[in-house]
Amino acid sequence: MDNKTVQRGTAQRLTTDSRSSRNVTLRMAEADLDLARKQAEEKGLPYQTYSKSVLHEELLRRERCRAG
């Protein structure tokens, strides 16, 4: 399974799990937002869904590193 498929699967799961999610407002550097939009477009995803997926994956990675 390639990275694009994994990203889409994660994005779909996050979208499906939206009932248990909350709305938040984040301030981001414009350069980071531009980069997120560019990467999301390359993957064919809405940038907000992509950003949520990237944040989720990084939080899980850090938690595994902390625990392991």
**Residue pLDDT, tens place only, 6-32:** 667 776 776 666 568 899 999 999 999
**Single pTM value for the model:** 0.68
Q: Which two tokens stand for residue 8?
A: 């889409």
C-alpha distance from residue 57 to each of 35, 65 (Å): 17, 12
Q: Say what the pLDDT of residue 3 is.
A: 66
Query: For 1-36, b where at least 16 C-beta lie within 10 A, e where not — what string?
Result: eeeeeebbebbeebeeeeeeeeeeeeeeeeeeeeeb
